[in-house]
Chain A
Amino acid sequence: MAEILTPERPVEKTPLKPEEELLVDRPKLSDWLELRLGWWGFVRKNLDEPMPPGVGWWQTLGNLLMTLLMFQFITGFALAMFYTPSAHDAYASVKHITEEVALGSFVRGLHVWGSTIIVIFTVLHILRVFFWGSYKKPRELTWLVGVVIFNVILGFSFTGYLLPWDQKAYWATVVGTRIAATIPVVGHDLLVLIRGGEEVGALTLTRFFALHVMLLPAALMGFMALHLFLVRKHHIAGPVLPQKGKPVPFYPVQLFKDAVVVLGGMGLVVYLALAFPPALEAIADPSGTDFAPRPEWYFLGLYELLKIMPAGWEVVATMIVPGLVSMGMLFLPWLDRSPSRHPARRQWVIVTGCAVVLLIGIMTLKGILETPPPGAHGHKAAALKGSAPSAEAVRQAAEPPATAP
């Protein structure tokens, strides 16, 4: 293979016929490129990447995430061609995309559902690495960069949520940005910086748009390149207990598994985009009093935590708990000092990790069960489910109060 692709001409020259001479002077494009780029060595190295025995389906998630993120870039680029990031026009442009542009609802659906599926598979990817202890030496930096990527993805989700400029988007951002204001001393200034003013308005939208389409994609690409470089440099960690057998090249067995999972993941996104087209609620109304803000479902755990914090303690839910979880994740390789990757030999880390996952799961589930579904006006749905603390009162609030104008 290598001989064929190496674009050097034979040293021993035999007289060539004119047509043969012509052929040699015009090498194949791949040979021409090889001489200038040396790309085949790079491709070869990646295809030959040794996979330790025991590596299989669980190790396909990284490739799936990379592919899904790339598709987000493509669908996002397409949406940006029709979107206008101005408070005056944003809603109308998203409505136009959703209702009038050919395939608009589908492309937007791919983008919206893609973001949800990415969060789910990112969490699964993180959990796999966590339970396998794959973050241990020499892969600490790979883990750390991965945690940064996770936060970039959440940043995408938070900034993208505002862009349709409907009620859901507006009020989730009012509440989400107010979280920054709970930080002592600098909170208010931070709030103004994030919003571009005191209120969520035109400048909040342009800021979030700029972050969503410029800063975050650039950051994601840089960190993803570094993550991939580190994964290839230190190779895949393999199972916790080394299995018998020789490493096999990445191509074709593992690449095939990756392709199957990518097909399944994309199939899921396409199905969701077709079966559950993305909704668009009423246009953002800063004066409205009948809309219950509701964050994206994976922030609902945090939302629930905010409910149970007593007065004056909200900074615990907004900063301290998420901060501790983030710090714990970032510095996990240095917190877990045990040399063994086996879960039984690092019990406190596994128990703590399980407890955190369980608590987030329970809080998220509680949030999903208690928070009104999309499009529902807050108090009505909450009253129907009878779950909000003031359910009785809000049910009455659902009826037009006698005092209202």
Chain B
Amino acid sequence: MSNEQPVSNSLIDSINDQPGPPRRKLLGWLVAGINLIVGGVVLGPVLGFLGSPLGRKTKGMWVPVLGLSEIQDGQTREASFTMQIKDGYALVDRKYTVFLHRSGEEVIAFDPACTHLGCRINWVGEKDRYFCPCHGGVFGKDGSVVSGPPPKPLEQHPVKVENGQIFVQKNV
């Protein structure tokens, strides 16, 4: 027991040596400030790092998808093409699909994603309609919404025809 006495005494002494209330408050604020800086040094860059995809710019690339002779006037058909894209860390060959509709020399390319929630639409030639298998969206051959929940017409990709070849612009 005897050798415990000095320990508790020195503990009490050290408590008595504490700085006065204003100084304690100031030190408390300084500790909070230091913690903010330390936390910010880590969290700031981490949040910026995680949010980096927001800053990524896409650019339109022209891709040949079909010969003009392969689609008849008034016809709608599916066409697939493969593009090399940068998917995060990897360079990959990604296959895309568009629906092409030809009227005269003009060709329209519709993105196959339903404008509701992105399911892939199906073209049903007999009905002249696109149908979404998810939530019952129906689009006309001009891409307009016929019925169901889609809020806007099908998205179009820019199209050009050169030397009998249909090119579609795809943002990557």
Contacts and interface: CB of A to CB of B under 8 A. Distances in A.
A139 to B, nearest CB: 32
Interface stretch (B16-24, B29-37, B51-59): B51-59
Given A314-B149, A390-B136, A87 B129 contact: no
Interface in B105-142: 112, 116-127, 129, 131, 133-136, 138
A314 B117 contact: yes
> Of residues A178, A189, A379, which shows the largest number of chain B Cβ atoms within 10 Å of its Cβ?
A178
A338 interface: no
Secondary structure at the A interface, as helix, strand, loop or mixed, is loop
Given A171-B119, A292-B134, A389-B148, A192 B88 contact: no
Given A197-B88, A314-B151, A291 B77 contact: no
A114 to B, nearest CB: 28
Contacts of B126: 396
Interface of B is mostly: mixed
Contacts of A394: 122, 124, 131, 133
A174 B133 CA distance: 14
A175 B53 contact: no
Given A292-B119, A388-B136, A390-B131, A401 B125 contact: yes
Interface in B57-85: 58, 75-80
Interface in A304-338: 306-307, 309-314
Contact of B80 (A195, A202, A287, A397): A287
A196 B88 contact: yes
Given A310-B149, A403-B77, A382 B117 contact: no
A311 B150 contact: yes
A306 B117 contact: yes
A339 B91 CA distance: 62
B127 A396 contact: yes
A389 B88 contact: no
Given A192-B54, A309-B149, A388-B133, A403 B125 contact: yes
A206 B89 CA distance: 11
A311 B151 contact: yes
Contacts of B51: 193
B118 A286 contact: no
A313 B78 CA distance: 30
B90 interface: yes
Interface centre among B53, B112, B123 (most CB of A within 10 A): B53
Contacts of A287: 80, 94-97
A196 B119 contact: no
Interface in A163-198: 171, 174-175, 178-179, 182, 189, 192-193, 195-198
In order of increasing CB-CB distance, the 4 nearest A-B pairs are A202-B88, A389-B136, A287-B95, A292-B133
30 contacts: A171-B120, A174-B118, A175-B118, A178-B118, A179-B117, A182-B117, A193-B50, A193-B53, A198-B171, A202-B87, A202-B92, A286-B96, A287-B80, A289-B78, A289-B112, A289-B121, A290-B120, A293-B119, A293-B133, A306-B135, A307-B135, A388-B133, A389-B138, A389-B147, A390-B138, A393-B127, A394-B122, A396-B124, A401-B122, A401-B124
Interface of B: 50-51, 53-54, 56, 58, 75-80, 87-90, 92, 94-97, 112, 116-127, 129, 131, 133-136, 138, 145, 147-151, 171
Given A175-B118, A197-B56, A306-B116, 4 more contacts: A286-B95, A290-B122, A378-B134, A389-B148
